[in-house]
Amino acid sequence: GAIQAADLPLMPPSAMPSGQPLSPLVQLANQSDQSAVFEADLEAKVVEMELAGGKKTEVWAYNGQLPGPQIVVNEGDTVRIRFKNSLSQPTTIHWHGLAVPEAQDGNPQDEVLPGQTRLYEFKIAENSAGTYWYHPHPHGLVAEQVYMGLAGSLIIKSKTDPFAHLQEQHWLISDLRLDQDGRIPPNTLSDWINGREGEFVLINAQLTPQISLNGNQRLRIWNATSARYFRLHLPNVEWIVVGTDGGLLEEPLSAGDELFLVPGQRLEVIPRISQNGTATLISRYYDRRKMMVREAPTTLTLAKVELTQTDVALPQRLRTFAALPPVAVKRTVVFRERMASGMNGDTAGMLQNMFLVNDQVFDMKRIDFEGKQGETEEWLLFNSSHMDHPFHIHGTQFELINRTLNGETRQEPYRAKRDILNLKPMEKALIRFVQTEKGLKMFHCHILEHETLGMMAMLQVK
């Protein structure tokens, strides 16, 4: 997309209605009457909405909804999504975190052209219960399509869920930038380099909603922003993490008073509330080393929360992970930025060559690694750059083994299934995973601007 030369006057956050009761995410209705089949239509389309300042805003939305409708399925289900692209540019739907066949994963090689329809059909893997999402993945257009509004949540339920009796509460966090006229403006140069952070930070598309929280709730949280890092803090609440991107942990784990959530990541949490009353959900400042901007540390206010203390006894054992087969192949993946000498001249060209995986920008036709179905891969991830980059790989969940920063290696004390891992500048991490489906698996930085600019590569699983 075009680069906006400078920051235009923006819509002030006070222009959007706030303080309304939190709306639950709207579920996509299942149109199938067969058991174990989920069937529905999704359409990516342009709609106008009144979001702020009494102005009409053009958004791109699945079925015209912000956030996109939530898909809820069971392990073992067959999913059939009839998708229509009513945008004026190509798109795809990528099922973030799911193990699906190559042709169904919304890869950049499988564009759905404007006006076209296609069927996405896949089976939900056993043992994959967890908190996922879906978003577009066409080459070079991802960042724009997501900041224009295309993203939705997906939950896989299990028949043996130890928390089936709890109420669920869902927070899908996104952000939005509006100019004075209510339009969603294109990225600035700083957005392309640092990742775009919209000024309106929303939960379920609402600004600072009013939330009721008690200890009998399983909270699922999505970070569906392009580039915002959250350190969520709620006074009088201890966050008990029970699940990560790929579902339940083996045991509940206290995160203390702060939940760290990077772009693309999800968590399942049970709040342990020590006092009744009203509290403010904030995100503490995280210094993720942006380039060429001087940013004052700020604390974000996300919601007003009414807390009700409820004592819940958590089971000690939530799940048991099978051991991974012995490591069959080891690889190294390096994230790096190439700084052009002199920023005058060809800005677009500079950006197109700036964000690298193993010293290359993404090429849809280049296979970077070949691997085998069912084999354990061990990857050493190295962020040899000046900025944080959240690593993501398609088609699987990985386990973090250890991470190394400033010469110090820390073993990961517990096992967890993730598909996103933040790497700080100069940090290394060792991960292991198995791919169960054949085909092309992208791996990339989940700051969507970096992905769009080519900080992405491909593993072909045979």
Q: How many residues bind ligand C2O (CB under 6 A)?
A: 10
Binding partner at 96 among ligand C2O, Cu ion, none, C-beta below 5 to 8 Å by kind: ligand C2O
Candidate segments 111-119, 175-183, 378-386, 440-448, binder of ligand C2O by CB under 6 A = 440-448
Residue 447 makes contact with Cu ion by CB under 5 A: yes
Work out how close the CB of 435 gets to ligand C2O at its nearest, in angstroms, rounded to a whole number. Answer: 14
Q: How many residues bind Cu ion (CB under 5 A)?
A: 4
For ligand C2O, the closer CB: 242 or 456 = 456
Residue 135 makes contact with ligand C2O by CB under 6 A: yes
Residue 272 makes contact with Cu ion by CB under 5 A: no
Residue 272 makes contact with ligand C2O by CB under 6 A: no
Work out how close the CB of 342 gets to Cu ion at its nearest, in angstroms, rounded to a whole number. Answer: 23
Residue 228 makes contact with Cu ion by CB under 5 A: no
Work out how close the CB of 332 gets to Cu ion at its nearest, in angstroms, rounded to a whole number. Answer: 18
Work out how close the CB of 114 gets to ligand C2O at its nearest, in angstroms, rounded to a whole number. Answer: 22
Residue 418 makes contact with ligand C2O by CB under 6 A: no
Binding partner at 389 among Cu ion, ligand C2O, none, C-beta below 5 to 8 Å by kind: Cu ion
Residue 417 makes contact with ligand C2O by CB under 6 A: no
Work out how close the CB of 365 gets to ligand C2O at its nearest, in angstroms, rounded to a whole number. Answer: 18
Contacts of 342 (CB under 8 A, 6+ apart): none
From candidates 40, 110, 137, 267, binder to ligand C2O by CB under 6 A? 137
For Cu ion, the closer CB: 110 or 175 = 175
For ligand C2O, the closer CB: 428 or 446 = 446
- Which positions from 252 to 271 touch ligand C2O by CB under 6 A, shown as an x/- string? ------------x-------
Binding partner at 170 among ligand C2O, Cu ion, none, C-beta below 5 to 8 Å by kind: none
Residue 94 makes contact with ligand C2O by CB under 6 A: yes
Residues 377-416 that bind Cu ion (CB under 5 A): 389
Residue 445 makes contact with Cu ion by CB under 5 A: yes
Binding partner at 447 among ligand C2O, Cu ion, none, C-beta below 5 to 8 Å by kind: Cu ion
Candidate segments 81-89, 298-306, 354-362, 441-449, binder of ligand C2O by CB under 6 A = 441-449
Residues 370-399 that bind ligand C2O (CB under 6 A): 392, 394
For ligand C2O, the closer CB: 38 or 443 = 443
Using CB atoms, what's the residue nearest to ligand C2O? Answer: 96
Sheet strand arrangement including 376-383: 355-357, 327-337, 376-383, 428-434, 399-405, 408-411
Work out how close the CB of 295 gets to ligand C2O at its nearest, in angstroms, rounded to a whole number. Answer: 25
Residue 450 makes contact with Cu ion by CB under 5 A: yes
Residue 196 makes contact with Cu ion by CB under 5 A: no
**Secondary structure (H, E, C), the chain:** CCCECCCCCECCHHHCCECCECCCCCECCCCCCCCCEEEEEEEEEEEEEEEECCEEEEEEEECCECCEEEEEEECCCEEEEEEEECCCCCECCEEECCCCCHHHCCCCCCCECCCCEEEEEEECCCCCCEEEEEECCCCCCHHHHHHCCCCEEEEEECCCCCCCCCEEEEEEEEEECCECCCCCCCCEHHHHHHCCCCCEEEECCEECCEEEEECCEEEEEEECCCCCCEEEECCCEEEEEEEECCEEEEEEEECCCCEEECCCCEEEEEEEECCCEEEEEEECCCCCCCCCCCCCCCCEEEEEEEEECCCCCCCCCCCCCCCCCCEEEEEEEEEEECCCCCCCCCHHHHHHCCEEECCECCCCCCCCEEECCCCEEEEEEEECCCCCEEEEECCCCEEEEEEEECCEEEECCCCCCECEEEECCCCEEEEEEECCCCEEEEEEECCHHHHHCCCEEEEEEC
| Residues of the shown chain interacting with Cu ion in the complex, contacts defined by CB under 5 A | 389, 445, 447, 450
| Residues of the shown chain interacting with ligand C2O in the complex, contacts defined by CB under 6 A | 94, 96, 135, 137, 264, 392, 394, 442, 444, 446
